[in-house]
Amino acid sequence: MTTSQLADLANQVQSYGTSGLREQKRAVVRQALSRAALDLALQRGLERVLVPDIAARAGVSPRTFNNYFASKEEAVVAPAFDRIARILAAFRERSSAEPLWTSITEAIVSQFRPGDSEGGNALRHARLISDSPALWVEQLRAYAAIEVLLADAIAQRLGVATDEDLFPRLVAAMAISASRVAFEHWLSGDRDETFTTMLSRALDQVGGAFPAQPGHRAR
């Protein structure tokens, strides 16, 4: 993965920067487009949703759609990128005194606790994504994005450089992969246990590989 790519992916993570009228409107339109795409996809299946449909439902011109998203898939998966921002924020707020893996685990798990936010819609959303190859690939990009950003945050906390030490990337990859596996497993199973439980278990199981504190040894 190249520098340019990192930038591309990172830029999709909501910046929530200035709060001028302009940026505010832009955020509204973006969310409207994303919601429109999701709603339509949920009721018809994404293949039967055309970009102009989405634009129309969001009250905007078709051409405008592509000023926000490069594809309808990107629009549907956009909320995942938002969650990334929240996970990162949660991680950064954790004390550096606590074991690294604990910080990571808690940061991730905390973003799923609020009880399947937004009603059962979240579950349908998840199923939609994992059932559509195109959406699922788009989701992979989200995982890749958070992996890189999380690695940066970890490196920052440990005071090492990501391009010299592969430890941060490794730890981030393990955390994200474990989350992804837990998620997919939970989605496909009978789910006699909650997602957060399964998530925690997967993370715990993987966490044993890594030393609790900076005294790691990767190059």
Q: Are 154 and 18 in contact (CB under 8 A)?
A: no
Binding site partner of 98, from DNA, its own copies, none, Cβ cut-off 5-8 A by kind: none
Residue 70's nearest CA partner among 86, 85, 81, 59 is 81
Which of these ranges, 17-25, 31-39, 79-87, 184-192, lies near its own copies under the rule CB under 8 A?
184-192
Applying CB under 8 A, among 107, 146, 169, 196 the residue interacting with its own copies is 169
How far apart are CB 88 and DNA at their closest, in Å? 23
Q: How far apart are the C-alpha atoms of 27 and 29, rounded to whole Å?
A: 6
Q: How far apart are the C-alpha atoms of 132 and 36, rounded to whole Å?
A: 17
**How many other C-beta atoms lie within 10 A of the C-beta of residue 43?**
9
Nearer to its own copies, 36 or 75 (CB): 75
Enter the tokens of residue 70.
Answer: 């490069």
Residue 76's nearest CA partner among 145, 133, 153, 18 is 133
Residue at 10: amino acid letter: A
Residue 112's nearest CA partner among 122, 101, 99 is 122
**Is 182 a residue that touches its own copies (CB under 8 A)?**
yes
Sites of contact with DNA (CB under 7 A): 18, 20-26, 29, 49-52, 60-68, 70-72
Sign of CA dihedral 32, 38, 39, 41: positive
Applying CB under 8 A, among 96, 207, 214, 215 the residue interacting with its own copies is 207
Size of the site for its own copies (CB under 8 A): 41
Binding site partner of 119, from DNA, its own copies, none, Cβ cut-off 5-8 A by kind: none
Interacting residues with its own copies between 127 and 166 (CB under 8 A):
130-131, 133, 136-137, 140-141, 144, 163, 166
DSSP 209: T
**Is 170 a residue that touches its own copies (CB under 8 A)?**
yes
Q: How far apart are the C-alpha atoms of 20 and 87, rounded to whole Å?
A: 25
Binding site partner of 90, from DNA, its own copies, none, Cβ cut-off 5-8 A by kind: none
**Is 184 a residue that touches its own copies (CB under 8 A)?**
yes
Q: Where along the sequence are the contacts to its own copies (CB under 8 A)?
A: 1-2, 4-5, 8, 130-131, 133, 136-137, 140-141, 144, 163, 166-167, 169-170, 173-174, 176-178, 180-182, 184-185, 188-189, 198, 201-202, 205-210, 218-219
